[in-house]
């Protein structure tokens, strides 16, 4: 069912952060930093995949993502909702259901047999496609998915995520240079504010996390190796 309630953006961000904290999808560890896929250290880690196991939260966030996209991009802006393999697949299916649109998904690379396809489902030339993912850091992984969509003759000018890091200033420009607009529900800054409000972590940890968020590259450089 298509959502018809449009909460203020600030309320969506606050509630999204609260839900991520409630299900312990947010992890802060300043003493023993996490290692990111890039190999760099970070005192923060978020696991949006956990959301699929919480029906009330999952449903609310998918309503939020749907109304955010419709408000920002338009009510009749899309013909197809595509998820990125693998985390984006369940969320794209849920958004597609709400928007009453076809759903497809994009593989990270061709599967290597059969049709050797990257697009699963039916995507046709000229369709306007929304790419849905769980999160984005610097936007880099989105570009490969967008290119695969465009290779079908479809267009992809928008991507929507639940969580956007919001700490790398070149992210939105990087996507914009590729002709893609980013839509999101909350950032690390929203999570940090809600974590302080709810006292979800001790203050020393939150101070270290804030130091990282304000200057992530410098924080990482100081701890490499």
Q: Determine the average pLDDT of the residues in 27-36.
A: 89
Burial status of residue 30 (CB atoms within 10 A of its CB: 0-12, 13-18, 19 or more): middle
Q: What is the pTM of this model?
A: 0.94
**Ordered DSSP codes for 166-187:** ---TTHHHHHHHTT-EEEEEE-
Any bridge partners for residue 45, and if so which? 27
What are the structure tokens assigned to 181, written together? 């607009």
Decide: 90 and 52 in contact? Cβ < 8 Å. yes
Give the chain's mean pLDDT. Answer: 93
Percent of the chain with pLDDT over 90: 80
Q: Domains, the chain, ranges and CATH?
A: 9-221 (3.40.50.2020)
**pLDDT (tens digit per residue) in 110-160:** 876 656 689 999 999 999 999 999 999 887 889 999 999 999 999 999 999
Least confident of 8-12, 34-38, 89-93, 102-106: 34-38
Q: Is the pLDDT of residue 225 over 80?
A: no
**pLDDT (tens digit per residue) in 178-190:** 999 999 999 999 9
Cα–Cα–Cα angle for 93, 52, 88, rounded to 5 degrees: 45
Looking at residue 113, its pLDDT comes to 64
């Amino acid at each position: 069912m298509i959502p018809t309630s449009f909460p203020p953006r600030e309320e969506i961000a606050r509630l999204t952060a609260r839900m991520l904290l409630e299900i312990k999808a947010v992890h802060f560890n300043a003493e023993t930093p996490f290692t990111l896929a890039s190999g760099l250290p970070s005192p923060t880690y978020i696991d949006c995949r956990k959301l699929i196991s919480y029906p009330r939260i999952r449903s609310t966030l998918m309503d939020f993502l749907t109304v955010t996209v419709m408000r920002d991009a338009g009510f009749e802006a899309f013909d197809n909702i595509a998820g990125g393999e693998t985390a984006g697949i369940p969320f794209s299916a849920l958004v597609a259901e709400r928007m009453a649109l076809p759903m497809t998904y994009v593989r990270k690379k061709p599967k290597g047999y059969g049709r050797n396809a990257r697009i699963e489902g039916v995507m046709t030339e000229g369709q306007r496609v929304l790419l849905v993912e769980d999160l984005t850091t610097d936007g880099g992984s989105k570009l490969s998915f967008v290119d695969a969509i465009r290779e079908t003759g479809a267009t992809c000018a928008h991507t929507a995520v639940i969580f956007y890091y919001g700490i790398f200033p070149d992210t939105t420009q990087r996507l914009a240079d590729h002709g893609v607009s980013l839509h999101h529900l909350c950032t690390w800054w929203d999570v940090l504010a809600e974590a302080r409000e709810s006292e979800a972590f001790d203050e020393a940890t939150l101070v270290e996390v804030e130091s990282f968020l304000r200057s992530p590259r410098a924080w990482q450089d100081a701890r490499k190796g």
